[in-house]
Amino acid sequence: MTQKKVSIKIGRKSSGYDIRIGNDLLAASGNWAVESLGRSSGKIAVISNKTVFAIYGTTVVKGLTKAGFETFVHLIGDGEKYKSFKTLEKTLAFLGENKISRTDAVLALGGGVVGDLAGFAASVYLRGIAFLQVPTTLLSMIDSSVGGKTGINTSFGKNLVGSFYQPNGVLIDAAVLATLPRRELTAGFCEAIKQGAISGKKLLEQTGSILEELDNNSIAKKLADGHFTAEFEQLLAAQVRFKALIVAGDERESAAKTDAKSRKILNFGHTFAHAIEKITNYHYFKHGEAVGYGIIFAAELSKKLELMPLDGVNLLNDVVRRAGSLPAIGHIDPSEVLEAFKYDKKNIGNSLQWVLLKGIGKPVIVSQNDIPGSALRSVLQSIIRH
């Protein structure tokens, strides 16, 4: 059992918290919880969904119990639609009914849906109690569990109600990816490529070389190979470190900050992604798959505006292709995409902010007012046609 530790210095605890990364760590989740919380007693409310809990729940609960905690399990439905007020209300009621107190903790076991919902519940229940995260999708390991954004979807939009709330500890066990559906893995890798693209060649190539090793093999098979596992854990650690670095410089995504260190750069690839997700009613693409297309779109637009040379675009195209096949987009109407850009959350003072690249690792924020409509339309045509 190998382990890596990434220490994060953001949030309400001046001491920060640790993200542990390794393989087969779930059975030892009790020791990790003791270290993260600084105590070996009290209650832990495990929030998970039926799918994930059926595979990993018993191991985690046993680990926590063995370490001295009293555990309570609350399962939510599986899917984005459960990241809702209704689920939040039921979750808070569960905490209340089980007399979870200010000195107890919430533990999220699952992907980004469970993590965002449970984190938000932990942040508002009794005005905030301790929160532990065990992310089980690639996306939640490298993206949603780092940075402290929690929240739910509402009738007026996605992720519009939430809080910034840093956890007390995060446990990333790569072994759980063995059961993750292939499309979810591809989606997670697209977010990893996004982070590589804005971080620099090193992280992008590290991500690309893991994808090359994976090729058509299942990750379950590859995780049985110690050499691959070690390299993969290194990639997870590098990804987490990069996201933490950006978040630490701009924890609350300040509206005024528009430089290359702004948290906004994490939205690279997301303007086009949000548009195609919206016009397909959020049912057709996994979010990360849409980001895969968004990366290509932003890269092509960067080239069109003569910000980035062709080799950067080719490299990104190549790495995204390695992440796995994406759902076809030939049927999407370019004019609907243009219309959907208007609704992007990153609209500030009526101007859409694009994250583009001057090169790999060189993000720039460009206002849509400074982008000719003809450039947008021509890139749109070429992406959708291919």
Ligand X SMILES: NC(=O)c1ccc[n+]([C@@H]2O[C@H](COP(=O)([O-])OP(=O)(O)OC[C@H]3O[C@@H](n4cnc5c(N)ncnc54)[C@H](O)[C@@H]3O)[C@@H](O)[C@H]2O)c1
Backbone angles phi, psi at 51, to 5 degrees: -60, -50
Distance CA 119, CA 263 (A): 20
Cβ proximity to ligand X: between 98 and 159 the closer is 159
Longest dimension (CA), the chain: 64
**Cβ 381 to ligand X, closest distance in Å?**
29
One-letter amino acid for residue 139 of the chain: L
- Told to check if 179 binds ligand X by CB under 6 A, we report yes
- Told to check if 186 binds ligand X by CB under 6 A, we report no
Q: Which stretch binds ligand X (CB under 6 A): 22-30, 142-150, 297-305, 337-345?
A: 142-150
Choose among 216, 219, 194, 215: nearest CA to 204.
Answer: 194
Q: In what order do the strands lie in the sheet with 351-357?
A: 347-348, 351-357, 363-367
**Cβ 177 to ligand X, closest distance in Å?**
6
Cβ proximity to ligand X: between 63 and 312 the closer is 63
Map residues 281-320 to x or -, x wherever contact with ligand X holds by CB under 6 A: ------x---------------------------------
CB 191 within 8 A of CB 139: yes
- Told to check if 139 binds ligand X by CB under 6 A, we report yes
Cβ proximity to ligand X: between 147 and 208 the closer is 147
Q: Which residue has the tokens 């046609």?
A: 385
Near ligand X by CB under 6 A: residue from 6, 53, 76, 116? 116
Distance CA 302, CA 312 (A): 10
Near ligand X by CB under 6 A: residue from 24, 35, 80, 253? 80
Pairing of strands 363-367, 351-357: antiparallel
Structure tokens at 170: 């995060």
Near ligand X by CB under 6 A: residue from 23, 133, 136, 229? 136
Q: Which stretch binds ligand X (CB under 6 A): 106-114, 248-256, 303-311, 356-364?
A: 106-114
Near ligand X by CB under 6 A: residue from 22, 30, 57, 112? 112
CA–centroid distance for 60 within its chain: 22
Q: Which residue has the tokens 């949603």?
A: 144
- Told to check if 326 binds ligand X by CB under 6 A, we report no
Q: Dump strand ranges (E) for the chain.
A: 3-8, 17-22, 43-49, 70-76, 105-110, 130-135, 149-154, 157-164, 169-173, 347-348, 351-357, 363-367
- Told to check if 167 binds ligand X by CB under 6 A, we report no
Burial (CB count <10 Å: 0-12, 13-18, 19+), residue 197: buried
**Cβ 310 to ligand X, closest distance in Å?**
30
37-58 burial: b if 16+ Cβ within 10 Å, else e: beeeebbbbbbbbebbbeebbe
- Told to check if 173 binds ligand X by CB under 6 A, we report no
- Told to check if 263 binds ligand X by CB under 6 A, we report no
- Told to check if 83 binds ligand X by CB under 6 A, we report yes
**Cβ 196 to ligand X, closest distance in Å?**
16
- Told to check if 59 binds ligand X by CB under 6 A, we report no
Burial (CB count <10 Å: 0-12, 13-18, 19+), residue 89: exposed
- Told to check if 176 binds ligand X by CB under 6 A, we report yes
Cβ proximity to ligand X: between 273 and 315 the closer is 273
CB 108 within 8 A of CB 119: yes
Residues that bind ligand X (rule: CB under 6 A) add up to a total of 28
Near ligand X by CB under 6 A: residue from 23, 36, 49, 229? 49
Near ligand X by CB under 6 A: residue from 18, 24, 35, 78? 78
> What secondary structure, in 3-state letters, does 116-142 show?
HHHHHHHHHHHHCCEEEEEECCHHHHH
- Told to check if 137 binds ligand X by CB under 6 A, we report yes
Cβ proximity to ligand X: between 61 and 305 the closer is 61
The contact set with ligand X (CB under 6 A) reads 49, 51-52, 55, 78, 80, 83, 110-114, 116, 136-137, 139-140, 143-144, 147, 149, 159, 176, 179-180, 184, 187, 287
